[in-house]
Chains A and B, each alone.
Chain A
Amino acid sequence: AAGVIQSPRHLIKEKRETATLKCYPIPRHDTVYWYQQGPGQDPQFLISFYEKMQSDKGSIPDRFSAQQFSDYHSELNMSSLELGDSALYFCASSLVSGGGASSDEQFFGPGTRLTVL
């Protein structure tokens, strides 16, 4: 079965550069979540989208922005990169509209490892 796809898998950038991370949810899933996991840290929620609209926002810096497109894929745009942005960025997708107890299980992608030099 198709899983969540993230690209690129690895990305190396210099300070002050920009980066764009992409997430392709499981087909027919309507919700996308972004998480950031720093070295030795737990995944931290950044932002989520439901039916192409922002549904929740966590500890996401103002330098970051994200959107969900008409085909439900999502992009996380990161500008003025700092050393502290080096982390593993996970995307997860779920189907919220299906209803039922298991309808919102989040399925995770493999992550994009961003290194800022």
Chain B
Amino acid sequence: AQRVTQPEKLLSVFKGAPVELKCNYSYSGSPELFWYVQYSRQRLQLLLRHISRESIKGFTADLNKGETSFHLKKPFAQEEDSAMYYCALSGPPGANSKLTFGKGITLSVRP
């Protein structure tokens, strides 16, 4: 069975501090890993995916297959980063690419 674990529910940091949101997964095969973000009163939106290897809004995430992790990192948090973050996985691209989400973590960046 596929599973995504986000061990923390809340992370509160000061502006300018580094951020690391943890995500571990279990999946038999080669999953695709994603981070979704939900800002206050907005819809869920894709932040980044491991295959694109991009840095979005200063965030990066590296897939570590040995540790089955996909932690989200940002060296200097901004107040506008305050949001709910979900780690998710799916199987290979295709019509059955349902997402399995973690329970999410609330990031609060204080001024």
0/1 string, B16-45, CB within 8 A of A gives 1 = 000000000000000000001000000111
- Establish whether residues A43 and B43, one from each chain, have CB atoms under 8 Å apart when the complex forms: no
CA distance A41 to B104 in the complex (A): 8
Stretch in A12-20, A69-77, A78-86, A101-109 touching the partner: A101-109
CA distance A33 to B96 in the complex (A): 10
**Residues of A within 8 Å of B, CB-based: how many?**
30
Given contacts A106-B46, A108-B44, A111-B43, are A42 and B102 in contact (CB under 8 A)? yes
Q: List the B side residues contacting A104 at CB < 8 Å.
A: 90, 93-94, 97
Residues of A bordering B, CB below 8 Å: 3-4, 31, 33, 35, 41-45, 48, 50, 55-56, 58, 90, 92, 94, 96, 101-111
